[in-house]
Structure 1
Amino acid sequence: MKTEIKRLQERTEQLEKITKKKNLIVTGIKIENSDEKQLKGKMEKFLEEELKLKIKLRGAGKISDKVYVIETEDMTDKLNILKHKKDLRKLTDRIYINTDLTKREREIQKELQKLASEERRNGNTVKIGYKKLIINDEEWSWDEEGGKLQKPRTPKN
């Protein structure tokens, strides 16, 4: 019974991942009341003005006051936005663009953030990636089964 529940949870996670694949979360931007079509247009205009990207979005929705989800037409557009999101640093407003993650993925990334802070306090250089940390140029990946960071195995020749 427990294995069946675990299998169903994994399947649900996979389906959720597929639906969020081309989505991005935009936080910190304030857009006055708009329907989905207007919001989509305003987000496309924002991407063009601030990131200098002419991208056609598939859709846009409001999650909360300053949090929006946008869906790109394809993965190329999504990756292009992520590549240029660093250009938002020059703005006075704190606007962020991140990948739309599943609940489980958000929990893992939150745990990695905590571990990264701890490592930085210990004087280490840390970069955070998707389900991994790079600590002093050494990559550590997240072990799904054990729920902890692990050193990658060195391949046997």
Structure 2
Amino acid sequence: MVKGLTEDVKLVRIQQEQYNVEMLKIQEENAKLRKENDNIKKENQEIKKELTEIRRNLEVIDKENRKNNIVIQGMKIRTNETGTIIPQVEKFIKDYLEVEAKVKDAITLGTNVCLVKLENGKDKEKIMINKTKLGKIPNEKIYINDDLTKKEREKQNQLRKKAAEEKKTW
């Protein structure tokens, strides 16, 4: 009986040594995986930083591309062809705002909405100064605004909502 127990103890020790060896392998593999995970986390953080910087740069580029643009809302547009919209927009600006502006491009964005790309910032400045003259047009509501980036529009909408909520509390 003692001999049987001795054999059982030897067998248990052999199994325990095998488990210990397997456990060491698992621990080493676990350490490797943790190190890889840490490296991946660092790479991920670097990529996030780069992405944030790229987004900032794109926002600056987008804003720069839009700096000479305006959006006209409420103007009756007679056609969707760019070639005929430009003279129509130039005539509208000259007739109603009394500004000689050179339009580089004009694109319809929807019913009675037009994106106007001007040749230079001085023309845009004159238009923005004189846009108050639009209020004198009878039976029409025409608005001229800056061409804003998506981020700027979202911020503007948030401010409008906040102002409306504050107005309600009065």
**Shared fold per TM-score greater than 0.5:** yes
Q: Which of these residues, 57, 62, 68, is aligned with residue 103 of structure 2?
A: 57
Work out whether 1:85 is the aligned partner of 2:131: yes
Question: Sequence identity of aligned pairs in percent?
Answer: 33
Over the residues paired in the alignment, what is the CA RMSD in angstroms?
1.4
Query: Could you tell me how far 1:104 is from its partner in structure 2?
Result: 0.3
Match of 1:105 in 2: 152
Shift of 1:119: 3.4
- Structure in which a larger fraction of residues adopt strand: 1
* TM-aligned CA deviation for residue 120 of structure 1: 3.4
Aligned partner letter, 2:66: K
The size of the alignment, in residue pairs, is 123
Q: Deviations over 1:58-82 (max 9, x none)?
A: 1111111211111111111101111
Q: For residues 63 and 163 of structure 2, what CA distance do their matches in structure 1 show?
A: 25
User: For structure 1, which runs of at least 5 residues remain unmatched after alignment?
Assistant: 124-157
Q: CA deviation at 1:46?
A: 0.4
Query: Pick from 72, 75, 100: which aligns with 2:121?
Result: 75
Look at both structures and tell me which one has the larger radius of gyration over its CA atoms.
Answer: 2
Tell me the alpha carbon deviations over residues 113-148 of structure 1, each in whole angstroms, 9 at most, x when there is no partner.
11222333455xxxxxxxxxxxxxxxxxxxxxxxxx
Report 1:135-154 matches (<5 A).
none
In structure 2, how many angstroms separate the alpha carbons of the residues matched to 1:55 and 1:71? 10
The answer on whether the counterparts of 2:72 and 2:143 sit within 8 Å (CA) in structure 1 is yes
Is the 2:59–2:149 Cα contact (8 Å) retained in structure 1?
yes
Return the offset for 1:39: 0.4
Q: Which residue of 2 aligns with 1:148?
A: none
Q: Does 1:43 align with 2:92?
A: no
1:15-48 per-position Cα deviation (integer Å, ceiling 9, x unaligned): 1111111000011112122421210100010011
Aligned-partner residue type, residue 118 of structure 2: T
1:31 lines up with 2:77 in the alignment:
yes
Correspondence for 1:16 among 30, 47, 62: 62
In 1: Cα distance, 2:102 partner to 2:83 partner: 12
Q: Which has the higher contact order (CA 8 A, sep 6+)?
A: 2
The 2-side partners of 1:26 and 1:45 are apart by 13
State the TM-score, normalizing by the size of structure 2: 0.67
5+ residue gaps, structure 2: 1-46
Larger proportion of helix: 2
Give the CA deviation at 1:9: 1.1
CA distance in structure 1 between the aligned counterparts of 2:156 and 2:61, rounded to whole angstroms: 19
